[in-house]
Chains A and B, each alone.
Chain A
């Protein structure tokens, strides 16, 4: 049976590459794509990234070769050449990156010969083959970052022993990308590490240029950013570690320990963790009584991309004390990755582990829930999914309504929240997530 795309939770690899570049300071993306690609991506972003879209040279103002039939037949390289020329003339940037769409990839336009010509004239320009059919927007992030690592990042720099790069938080696909990157940076700074996050307002393009001097890449994802980290390793000899997106005290403490160990830091990590925990729990103290009295503990259904599905489920189990019953991963993942991720959501007795499913179609969630809680003639003595809470995207609000649960959007697409600086990483990020979950739980009062 064919599987229709119901409620897509990502866009194409060209889109992922474009939004990644839009997030990078002083960087001008140049699409070599058909008319309409940039617009479609802009609207998808607009509707799904917590009201964030575009910026300078982004959204509907992105330079694009807008190839048409004539360019398809004769090749679009001349059109691209012209587009780069006019973009250099009109747009104010430091780095230019050409990314391709399906049409120009299918006809095999040699974009690298064009960018090489401009590079020979001293322009900082990079080419990335991101044809939309290659995969989804998460892949686009990895493709374009890998090309930046190969074509833009400086070679043969002396190593900075306490500097790390953060990878794996995908701008716009994670609406909280800025807050999350800053959160990860603040967290690691507490153990004396210098952190490159590339995309925030605290970063410059030089951070990217010099990122090969880092002693370590920290990939805060089980999937995203791994290709880019491998490219760093192969091309610039930067090793990498992978960690769960550090949401809340448990994951944050684990990350601090992992980074300190990978860098052989002479720091009392446990003292740092103790102090962070002290502050975190001081905030929670006044909540504790009402949490119990007002019955704020919930059964949770988590439907999210791999970063949030793991991080949020773990946070609920390890830190908040909610009971995740179902965690649905909406990414396309191979079996090996599925096994690794499933292992991450195991629990020790007596804490129940959630049912883990890998299904890109989130409308199936209700079926999984019904399997867990079969319909009874009377609910009087049966175990039911109450009180429940759905943590997912805006698309999962209808599920929450159907099962009478609260709802919070944390994963793409998020169309019912405005997100600017908010983030969930670090100890402080955990507090923000508690606030948001409990605020949603009591919103009807």
Chain B
């Protein structure tokens, strides 16, 4: 019997550090001995840049645009430590349907059974920001990824995007879709930031998989076109990513989150705004005391 391929999807608001986190997870997993594929599902097609020395690779859709029949092997490029890199790509901004593009790209690789052929252990889909339409929900639908992780900071908009993703997961959870592994809390340096994401995780019945601090090492590595795992393998930040990668590799059981409805989410955000304001003005509250 063929081995079970672990497929995970990583979602999060644009600019939150999704691709950075994903690439570092891929790099750390490959260093741990897993055969990894990173599948960028964003029309920007820069998910795998830091695995390829800052180099862009031809995308599935660019190739499809030029040729009527495409071999999956032509779409896969190896990067750091033998990681297989694929970029779905998309149409020019403002035309066509990027969501359908993601569906087409994912289906193409699935049909050609490329994961099995390459004997891959773990596939990571790096999916753009919000679940704006059906196309971007493809990785969490039946038969693609099993586990979803979301990268979120303590910013309201990032949490809003995470909450939307939870709604998507909840929707597909009854029809064999992916379930939620947890939140990767990114850029968590201030104590109140940790409290905010912890509170959100608790309210939506999920967990924080890892707190990832903001670090200048990441920026330095990215400027070299590399992941932190590659550029600064002995750094503290690399240790954080490796710990995260281990947890993901060992992660078995995901759950259905309990997203907040829009009014609840706004109310929740407002209560945090009040608490932060109180903190700033020096008022002593229970939350203020705890942080």
Question: Interface of A with B (CB < 8 Å)?
Answer: 69-77, 106-110
Give B83-96 as 1s and 0s: 1 = Cβ < 8 Å from A's Cβ atoms. 00000001110011
Report if A107-B97 is in contact (Cβ < 8 Å); known contacts: A73-B104, A75-B91, A75-B92.
yes
- Min CB gap A113→B, angstroms: 11
* B97 near A106: Cβ-Cβ < 8 Å: yes
Residues of B within 8 A of A109 (CB): 95
- Chain A at the B interface: SS class: helix
* A72 near B95: Cβ-Cβ < 8 Å: no
Q: 19 A-B residue contacts at CB 8 Å?
A: A69-B100, A70-B64, A71-B96, A72-B96, A72-B100, A73-B64, A73-B90, A73-B98, A74-B91, A74-B92, A74-B96, A74-B101, A75-B96, A75-B97, A107-B95, A107-B96, A107-B97, A107-B100, A108-B95
Choose from B95, B97, B101 the contact partner of A77 (Cβ within 8 Å): B95
* B95 near A70: Cβ-Cβ < 8 Å: no
Residues of A within 8 A of B65 (CB): 70, 74
Contact-residue bracket for chain B = 10 to 19
Identify the interface centre among A73, A77, A109: most chain B CB within 10 Å of its CB: A73
- Min CB gap A32→B, angstroms: 14
Residues of B within 8 A of A71 (CB): 96
A108 CA / B91 CA spacing, docked (Å): 13
The 8 nearest A-B residue pairs measured at CB: A75-B95, A75-B96, A73-B101, A107-B97, A74-B96, A74-B91, A72-B100, A73-B100
Sample of 16 more A-B contacts, CB < 8 Å, known A74-B65, A107-B95? A69-B100, A71-B96, A72-B96, A72-B97, A73-B91, A73-B101, A73-B104, A74-B61, A74-B91, A74-B95, A74-B101, A75-B92, A75-B96, A108-B95, A109-B95, A110-B95
A70 CA / B104 CA spacing, docked (Å): 9
Identify the interface centre among A70, A71, A77: most chain B CB within 10 Å of its CB: A70
Residues of B within 8 A of A110 (CB): 95
Which residues of chain B from 33 to 52 have a CB within 8 Å of any chain A CB? none
Residues of B within 8 A of A70 (CB): 64-65
A55 CA / B65 CA spacing, docked (Å): 36
Residues of A within 8 A of B96 (CB): 71-76, 107
Which residues of chain B from 202 to 228 have a CB within 8 Å of any chain A CB? none
* Beta-carbon nearest neighbor of B98 in chain A: A73
- Min CB gap B68→A, angstroms: 8
A71 CA / B104 CA spacing, docked (Å): 12
Residues of A within 8 A of B98 (CB): 73
Choose from B90, B92, B95, B104 the contact partner of A69 (Cβ within 8 Å): B104
- Min CB gap B89→A, angstroms: 9
Report if A73-B92 is in contact (Cβ < 8 Å); known contacts: A106-B97, A107-B97.
no
